[in-house]
Structure 1
Amino acid sequence: MRLCARHLLEAYDLVAAEVGVADLAPHPCPACGCRVGVHYPSGWLCADCEWRLGDAPDGELQPVRVEVVYYVRYREQVKIGTSANPRQRLASIPHDEVLAFEPGGRRLEQRRHAQFAEHRFAGTEWFAAHDALAEHIAALALGIDDPWAAYDRWVSRRHAVRG
């Protein structure tokens, strides 16, 4: 079916009003930090967590528990640890860089410690930098510019699931 430009634009507007148009949001999502939004005639929703852009996150939200395995670098060593509150935990650990986060708790952390045990400093959660560990961290960080943004998205999704 061929449409003139005017009718084509009207049809586009009807479809866009119903399904929205994904685009770069006017500002990062206040709940998860995502930069991509879906634009509807009534406003923007975050493409990741579906938070309505323009609404302030509710200060009365109960905290959610999102356990992560974290990978931090200090000089030539890498620490593999776990925390349900990584901001607080990492504030107390000397490190030069947060390399990656991986969703998971103590059992996953123990598996990673066993996986890289050959390079572990005895009695610690610190490991000598080596190729296998670097490859694992690179795979976790693939497509993620900021590990904290990924963590914020996981927290936001947990809030969304909880309702």
Structure 2
Amino acid sequence: MARCSQLRSDGVACGLPIEAGAPVQLCSSHLLAAHDWVARDVGVTDLLPGPCVACGGRVGIRYPSGWVCAVCEWRAGELVDVEIASELRIEVVYYLRYDDRIKIGTSATPRRRIAALPHDEVLAFERGGRGLEQRRHRQFADQRIPRTEWFEIDDTLLDHVSALRAGIEDPWDLYSRWLSTELALRG
């Protein structure tokens, strides 16, 4: 069995066994010391002590100086300026599924707007306002239920929603990231 040759403070080799498959010829104790040395600059990904106050994210990066949200990079422990946060408005085009149809609408306060609408699922968000919403209504005009913002589900509309959701499990996470970015730019 290979032994760690890292010198201790007294100048003698460590001599502890090296685990099979170790990436470098160091014992577990010295590998952990090397890891901690590197982690002080690059951080360690872990669960935050509590949800991020800016975006609600749960994953963070731990540095010796403290935690940073992995989603929005807000420093854990820093307070959100309530006055600025309450003024934040990001216009989005939202896609809701209700039964066998999809609503394409827009709002600067989607949580409030969507809470007032019948829906089974929030499918996606797209950053933009009325102009983008109207373009999407024209784009999917063949599926539109007359005189409404509701559309019959078909492959072209589902493909569009899938493209918007690529790599995003929960559309609200994306919206939270947009909000936290705006908040960071203002604060």
The interval holding the TM-score normalised by the smaller chain is 0.7 to 0.9
1:142 match: 166
| CA RMSD in angstroms, aligned pairs only | 2.1
Q: In the alignment, which of 80, 102, 106 is matched to residue 82 of structure 1?
A: 106
Please say which of residues 24-33 and 8-17 is displaced more in the overlay. 8-17
Partners of 2:50 and 2:76 lie apart in 1 by 8
Verify: 1:96 aligned to 2:120, yes or no.
Answer: yes
2:176 match: 152
- Give every structure 1 segment of 4 or more consecutive aligned residues whose post-TM-superposition deviation is greater than 6 Å: none
Query: What's the TM-score, normalizing by structure 2?
Result: 0.76
Q: Secondary structure at the match of 2:52?
A: coil
Corresponding letter in the other structure for 1:16: A
Unaligned runs of 5+ in 2: 7-25
Corresponding letter in the other structure for 2:165: A
Count of aligned positions: 162
Q: Which has the larger radius of gyration?
A: 2
Partners of 1:8 and 1:76 lie apart in 2 by 56
Shift of 1:21: 2.3
State the Cα deviation string for residues 76-107 of structure 1 (Å, max 9, x = none). Answer: 11110111111121122222221111111122
Query: What's the TM-score, normalizing by structure 1?
Result: 0.85
2:129 match: 105
2:93 match: 69
Please say which of residues 20-29 and 131-140 is displaced more in the overlay. 20-29
Please say which of residues 58-67 and 30-39 is displaced more in the overlay. 58-67
Q: Indicate the structure whose relative CO is greater, using CA pairs within 8 Å and at least 6 residues apart.
A: 1
Q: Secondary structure at the match of 2:83?
A: coil
2:47 match: 24
Partners of 1:22 and 1:103 lie apart in 2 by 28
Unaligned runs of 5+ in 1: none
Shift of 1:39: 0.7
Q: Secondary structure at the match of 2:67?
A: strand
* Percent identity for Structure 1 against Structure 2: 59
Q: Secondary structure at the match of 1:61?
A: helix
Shift of 1:112: 1.0
Please say which of residues 21-30 and 144-153 is displaced more in the overlay. 21-30
1:128 match: 152
Please say which of residues 74-83 and 14-23 is displaced more in the overlay. 14-23
